[in-house]
Structure 1
Amino acid sequence: MGIGISVLLIAAGLILALAVEATVSGLDIQVVGWILVAAGVLGLVLEIALFAPRRRYPARDVVEVARPADRVVVDDRPVVEERRVYGDGRY
């Protein structure tokens, strides 16, 4: 149950418990309203307490930096140095 559903249950329950004065035979609308409020509050508490810690993002001041010593590059190719010689003997 998400936060939106919990708030919706709380609002609907409070409307039924406090604002509706209709009577239905065999059903107490005020009790149904308080049950909806209790279910909404329970859902909201569980959503915040249990599921919210999973959604936290890492702190912005924590940065992982890879140092050059951590990376190993293996290259078996021979090193070829290219030099261009111009007509007057300079490189």
Structure 2
Amino acid sequence: MGAILAFAVDFQVVGIDIRVIGWILMAAGAAGLIFFFAFWSRRRTTAVVTERRDYDDPAGPPL
């Protein structure tokens, strides 16, 4: 929608610059995509948890 307003529309509205509104909409869409992918990648990360138990018994851990 923003690119259409910025590049393809050829009409005038008194007091409003349609091309600037188009550029603002394109910037908002790009920012939305950046935020979407930033939060999506953070949500998909996994943490590896390892558990180590030390036993004082020389025979080994209990079965």
TM-score (norm 1): 0.46
Q: Which amino acid in the other structure matches residue 4 of structure 2?
A: I
CA distance in 2, matches of 1:51, 1:57: 9
Q: Structure 1 residues 17, 25: closer, same or farther in 2, change over 3 A?
A: same
- Structure 1 residue 28: Cα displacement: 0.3
Equivalent position SS for 2:16: coil
After the TM superposition, which segments of 4 or more aligned residues of structure 1 sit over 6 Å from their partners? none
Unpaired stretches in structure 2, ≥5 consecutive residues: 47-63
Query: Aligned-residue CA RMSD in angstroms?
Result: 1.6
1:23 to 12, 17, 29: 12
Correspondence 1:71-90 to 2 at 5 A: none
2:29 corresponds to: 40
- Structure 1 residue 39: Cα displacement: 0.3
- Give the number of aligned pairs: 46
- Structure 1 residue 50: Cα displacement: 1.9
Q: Which structure has the greater CA radius of gyration?
A: 1
Identity %: 50
